[in-house]
A and B are shown apart, each in its own frame.
Chain A
Amino acid sequence: MFPTLQLGPLSIQTPGFVYLAGFWLGSTLSEKWASQPSSSTKNIYNLVFTSFIAGFLGARLSYIGSTPQWFLKNPQAAVSLNSTLLDPVGGILIALLAGLIFTHKNGMFSRDTLDSLTPLLAVLNLSLGISHLASGKAYGSVTDLPWGIYLWGASRHPTQIYEILFGFLGLFVTWYMIHRSQGNSGEVFAAFLITASMGHLITAGFRSETSYLLWRIRIEQLFAYAILAFGLWFVGKVYGDPGRDS
């Protein structure tokens, strides 16, 4: 496990580096594959960039909102690059909101845009597994299966490897759907959603550290199940109204 990469005096957090690299690679692929008329390369780039900046600012603002008194006493901290002063949930919500506003304003609110963004989502999904492998988090339950890996004091399911394999599957499905597209707007996104949610649903079943609800049902699996159900419903919408809706 390599939670940090040491470059001379510089200590880089590997998970953060993996997400950033994934974001760069994913947005490059999204721009490259954005061939639909309503989502030109420039628009996709602007959408991704706007959401990223809004997400970053939103994460800091949301953090400031949770402890305003401290920031009033230490105003310089509001503009520091300190990653511990970011609220990821607030950041994601504001990034989504900014993305929605951008797509509405630029006439990009369509299933084509979702298709164009799918390569980015697929690479980020793969990055999640790689970052877990680097940090040793999201580790598996104890097993005596021959492919178990010795980690954190026991032989465990290599859940991070399972995640990476499903991540590659999601990326392959995205690539395949883009190149074999039948012209149904939204089908790339729907296919990725179903593959990724199934991947998380299966992998989470092997996790050791987990949060659960009534009847010990894992929260992550319920969340993946809801996305799977949405993906299947979305497929129905895609093939019920197959035309490009630009």
Chain B
Amino acid sequence: MKDTLNKNRIIFSIFLLGFGAIWIWVTRANPDEVSQTRISAPQEGLLAPDFTLSTLDGKEISLVDYRGSPVLVNLWASWCPPCRKEMPDIQMAYETYTEQGLVILAVNATHEDNLNSVKEFVEKNNLSFPIPLDTTGEVNRLYNLHSLPTTYFINRNGIIEKIIIGGPMRFPAIEKHLNGMLEGDQ
């Protein structure tokens, strides 16, 4: 009786391991499908949706213009406490990594913010990276924004590597996510 049970258990184990091995082989990753580079959506592993906005100093910028550089897109508002708190750390990351090609676009949710408050905050904190103004809420909709702040780490190929919802994000956390992007795809 015990021998029969053991035999059945061995057969069951061989079946499961065999099935598992075949399944792993059959469902191997397809690099073309895995990268999904043609599909643009606000999710990790997919192409970051493109946008064109005017910045606080009147220039027009498009995300696609920065293809080839690692980009950090931070969606924020001047009334949002965690956004205010993390901005000096983002500035520190910009100063530390700008020579390595890092681009920072701090997209302000201007449609639900006060432009004077934005200017005041930017000046007070000496923010030197571009501040695109989302006056219509286009980027909020495009990026399915649920919470402020939200930060997107976009690699040199325009693919979203990491999304951080909420904050404040501190310098070591920013650095940790940037490091892989700055090293990779050089």
Binding site for B on A (CB under 8 A): 1-4, 6, 11, 13, 63, 66-67, 70-71, 74, 77, 82-85, 136-137, 139, 141-142, 152-154, 194, 198, 201-202, 204-206, 208-210, 212, 215-218, 221-222, 224-225, 228-229, 232, 235-236, 239
| Residues of chain A contacted by B46 (CB below 8 angstroms) | 152-153
| Residues of chain B contacted by A198 (CB below 8 angstroms) | 16, 20
Q: Is the CB of A208 within 8 A of B45?
A: yes
Given known A142-B33, A198-B16, contact A84–B167 (CB-CB < 8 A): yes
Give chain B interface residues in 1-51, CB to chain A under 8 Å.
5-6, 9, 13, 16-17, 20-21, 23-31, 33-34, 36, 39-41, 43-46
Given known A205-B23, A208-B33, contact A85–B173 (CB-CB < 8 A): yes
> In the bound complex, how far is the Cα of B28 from the Cα of A204, in angstroms?
10
Q: Is the CB of B173 within 8 A of A84?
A: yes
> In the bound complex, how far is the Cα of B171 from the Cα of A48, in angstroms?
32
> In the bound complex, how far is the Cα of B179 from the Cα of A67, in angstroms?
13
Given known A84-B169, A201-B20, contact A217–B28 (CB-CB < 8 A): yes
Given known A218-B29, A236-B9, contact A137–B43 (CB-CB < 8 A): yes
Q: Is the CB of A205 within 8 A of B147?
A: no
Q: Is the CB of A82 within 8 A of B168?
A: yes
Decide yes or no whether B166 CB sits under 8 A from chain A: yes
> In the bound complex, how far is the Cα of B144 from the Cα of A151, in angstroms?
12
Given known A67-B172, A141-B33, A229-B17, contact A4–B165 (CB-CB < 8 A): yes
Centre residue among A6, A208, A216, A218 by max chain B CB count within 10 A: A208
8 Å CB contact of B28 from A4, A83, A139, A215: A215
